[in-house]
Structure 1
Amino acid sequence: MIRSIVASTAHALATGLALALAMPLAALPVATPAAAQADRCPKLVAKSPFIAPPGPRIVPAAYVGERQVGLTYIGHSTFLIETAGGVTVATDYNDYVRPSVVPRVATMNRAHSTHYSLNPDPGIEYVLKGWREDRDPVRYDLDVGDLWIGNLPTNIRDYQGGTIRNGNSIFVFRAADICIAHLGHLHHTLTEEDLGALGRIDVVLAPVDGSYTLDVDGMVEVLKALEAPLVIPMHYFNEGTLNRFLDRFASSQYTIERRESPELVLSRETLPMKPTVIVLPGSLY
């Protein structure tokens, strides 16, 4: 069942970089080179054999049918992804905003404590850190039930203006022939090599705060380059910041939709035919 009860009302961003997480990586699969990821999300045009509705359908949250993927915005940078086979993932899993269910998979990023947890629920089967402490790139190529998970390492800034190499990961999730990319705490635009490694992306979960992550113009550049039919904003703190991004993006000939429910059920057939931004309600702390 897709549920979106926010686990905490805490409103704080950490001011330091994350410390090493006390969890082993040895048991986690090591991926093949990043370029192989494109084989999992091949470049295709999102087309339907019939006329599709203008955006993803909202169906009862208790049902994720065959060839569908459930997506719930919990808040900040955390989404709950659910497959038809019952695999659940919480993105940027942290101690402030969590889904009400214990996910089978949790992904994390390094930038602030609102993107990782030092005390993940022990019931989580796979805890996937988006970085390594030695700054070498971490790679995932992981099948969990009917879900595939890969990643593309990217760099982040430190508080002195320097660069922490491979300090963030764009996590990619594929189920029901839909590829979802969570950009994490992205701090720079993407190269042609990055875009080739990511392959075809259908849904982008994009940080749009315009300051802590990439500036608005840079984020628009990234989203245009990815050419995904569906963009879902996250990491924007307040309506003013969100509206600044939407105003900029609306001028890019994207359709803008606001939904009252934080839940979507996606299928390949109902991806929007025109590039669309869908705003889902969630915790803004």
Structure 2
Amino acid sequence: MMLKYALTALAFVVFGFPASAQDRPQVSQCQLIAEALPSVTFAKFQPPDDGALFAVEKAQLAEDVRITFLGHASFLIETPGGISIATDYNGWYQTPKVPDVVTMNKAHSSHYTSNPDPAIAHVLPGWNEQAPGEKIEHKIVVGDAYVRNVPTDIRSWGGSFEANGNSIFIIEAAGLCIGHLGHLHHELTDAHYAEIGRLDILMVPVDGGLTLGADSMSRIVQRLRSALILPMHRRGQPIETFLSMFDESFDVTMSQERSVTVSMRTMPRKPLIMVLQGI
């Protein structure tokens, strides 16, 4: 009986949400451990040893998520169920097909477009256009993916801050929690960390100042303690400036590819900063 329930739970995580999930609020699997801040310590996902995944054959699992760096702050995330999500979408970068979901932030025109392809089913701005300064909330299930946001403030050209002008978008698919910091302009509060929860994969800007300085951004990365860190949004400053902020508790690899394929089983056991080709 216990095996039956374990297999059922595994199928839910790996193969996606039931169809009826579209019709009811979705509970984030990434937030389940984030209820007791500031004393909470976030759990870090530890992939099971080979052969220990509830005794289910690996070949039966549709578990791979493919992440491709498109350019600037845009990644394409492709789920096992065939859903594609483009982050900080600006319409400049080509994708194999029209994405099912695009997220946008408004710091600069390189992070959004006013004229998204009308074939895109779900266009998610990270700010509230109808009520500037008010939070915008996205919580949608599309196929086997769940997309939500955590609003943050944004710095204007004059130096003042606009409340809730940026969003950290979180994509949950195949049991993985994938976070994109967007155009983050300030360090995060305990409340932000509680809303975010666990992030297995983190996409982090490394421009050194247009968003946050390398030191501030590295503190966020160290606190989130994601298994896989993907730098993005590099302008001017060499990537080594960001990498120098981390000690031997983080591994670093310079990839020869623009894409990486990941799953719950293949996540690194030690935090890995992977610099994809094109960064």
Q: Comparing both chains, which one has the higher relative contact order based on Cα–Cα distances under 8 Å and sequence gaps of 6 or more?
A: 1
- Matched residue pairs, number? 240
**Matched residues in 2 for 1:271 and 1:246: separation?**
20
| 1:229 positional shift | 1.1
| 1:254 positional shift | 1.1
Aligned partner of residue 269 in structure 1, secondary structure? coil
Q: Which residue of 1 aligns with 2:198?
A: 200
Kindly report which structure 2 residues correspond to 1:69-218, keeping only aligned pairs within 5 A, or say none: 69-133=65-129, 134-218=132-216
Q: Residue type of the partner of 1:78?
A: S
| 1:99 positional shift | 2.6
Q: Residue type of the partner of 1:46?
A: F
| 1:191 positional shift | 1.0
**Matched residues in 2 for 1:83 and 1:114: separation?**
25
Aligned partner of residue 245 in structure 1, secondary structure? helix
| 1:163 positional shift | 0.4
Distance 1:41 1:179, change over 3 A: farther
**Matched residues in 1 for 2:124 and 2:81: separation?**
20
| 1:98 positional shift | 4.0
User: TM-score, length-normalised on structure 1?
Assistant: 0.78
CA contact (8 A) 2:151 2:166 kept: yes
2:240 equivalent to 1:247: no
CA contact (8 A) 2:103 2:124 kept: yes
Kindly report which structure 2 residues correspond to 1:50-65, keeping only aligned pairs within 5 A, or say none: 50=49
| 1:49 positional shift | 2.2
CA displacement 1:29-87 (0-9 Å, x = unmatched): 9x9799997149995432122169xxxxxxxxxxxx70121100111000000011110
Distance 1:203 1:41, change over 3 A: farther
CA displacement 1:232-278 (0-9 Å, x = unmatched): 0000035x4212111223x3631100111111111011111111100
| 1:101 positional shift | 2.4
| 1:197 positional shift | 1.0
Q: Which residue of 2 aligns with 1:45?
A: 44
Distance 1:191 1:34, change over 3 A: farther
Distance 1:76 1:130, change over 3 A: same
- Contiguous gaps of at least 5 residues in structure 2: 1-21, 36-41, 52-60
**Matched residues in 2 for 1:168 and 1:78: separation?**
15
Aligned partner of residue 265 in structure 2, secondary structure? helix
Cα RMSD (Å) = 2.6
Q: Residue type of the partner of 1:71?
A: I
Q: Residue type of the partner of 2:218?
A: V
Report % sequence identity: 39
Moved more, 266-275 or 37-46: 37-46
Aligned partner of residue 224 in structure 1, secondary structure? helix
Moved more, 158-167 or 94-103: 94-103
User: TM-score, length-normalised on structure 2?
Assistant: 0.80
Aligned partner of residue 139 in structure 1, secondary structure? coil
Distance 1:44 1:253, change over 3 A: closer
**Which is higher, the Rg of structure 1 or of structure 2?**
2
Distance 1:214 1:119, change over 3 A: same
Q: Residue type of the partner of 1:50?
A: D
Q: Residue type of the partner of 1:114?
A: S
**Matched residues in 2 for 1:261 and 1:94: separation?**
22
CA displacement 1:3-47 (0-9 Å, x = unmatched): xxxxxxxxxxxxxxxxxxxxxxxxxx9x97999971499954321
CA contact (8 A) 2:66 2:79 kept: yes
